[in-house]
A = this chain, B = another copy of it.
């Protein structure tokens, strides 16, 4: 699904890639063409990746959830103990990566070969970084993004009691800085 996007950005010498670079010229035009998954009629479609060569792809995304210092302390102690909070978020992130094809309507089903999740627990925030690798015809940044946002939502779910104020609201809880850190493509053989 993300191949138009992939190939317009990377230098390749086969005709296939050139075609896309051209089509990409149109894509940067300010109309429906610029939108992935939107064809000339302006209707949504999956991108045909049948002619794409298999390449090894890797995407890293991260995001941060802002929490109270007291909540972070509870997570740290819990980590030293059973670590169930981050363990649950980790599993939620990995499962979300595998479910991206059904969560994001235009995503293809891709063979994910590796998922790495890293939590960086700061004094008033937790940053989750998710790395996804696949060998196939499309990129995997959407998988990494789904892993990050769902993993952070699971953290939120696990600390609801600690984050709420007396009115039952979440004045300070916030997820921000969800970004794709890097996206790589390596042609095989």
The residues of A with any CB-CB pair to B shorter than 8 Å are 1-2, 4-6, 8-10, 24, 27-28, 30-32, 34-38, 41-50, 56, 63, 70-71, 73-75, 77-79, 81-88, 90-92, 94-96, 98-99, 101-109, 111-117, 133, 135-137, 141-142, 145-146, 149-150, 152-154, 156-162, 164-170, 173-180, 182-183, 185
Contact = CB atoms under 8 A, between A and B. Distances in A.
B87 A164 contact: no
B82 A43 contact: yes
Number of copies: 6
B113 A137 contact: yes
A24 to B, nearest CB: 7
A158 B111 contact: no
Contact of A83 (B31, B82, B158, B167): B82
